[in-house]
Amino acid sequence: RKEVEQDPGPFNVPEGATVAFNCTYSNSASQSFFWYRQDCRKEPKLLMSVYSSGNEDGRFTAQLNRASQYISLLIRDSKLSDSATYLCVILTGGGNKLTFGTGTQLKVEL
Partner 1 sequence: DAGVTQSPTHLIKTRGQHVTLRCSPISGHKSVSWYQQVLGQGPQFIFQYYEKEERGRGNFPDRFSARQFPNYSSELNVNALLLGDSALYLCASSLGNTGDGELFFGEGSRLTVL
Q: Provide the binding-site residues for partner 1, judged by CB under 8 A.
A: 4, 8, 31-34, 42-46, 49, 87, 89, 91, 94-103
Q: How far is the CB of 65 from partner 1 (least distance, A)?
A: 18
| Residues facing 51 on adjacent strands | none
Name the residue nearer to partner 1 (CB basis): 40 or 110.
40
Is the CB of 69 or the CB of 102 nearer to partner 1?
102
Task: Give the separation between CA 100 and CA 56, rounded to whole angstroms.
Answer: 21
Min separation Cβ 50 and partner 1, Å: 9
CA distances from 98 to 20, 63, 106 (A): 22, 18, 22
Per the CB < 8 A criterion, the answer to whether 4 and 23 are in contact is yes
Contact 74, 84 (CB under 8 A): no
Q: Which one, 43 or 110, has the nearer CB to partner 1?
A: 43
Smallest gap, in angstroms, from Cβ of residue 52 to partner 1?
15
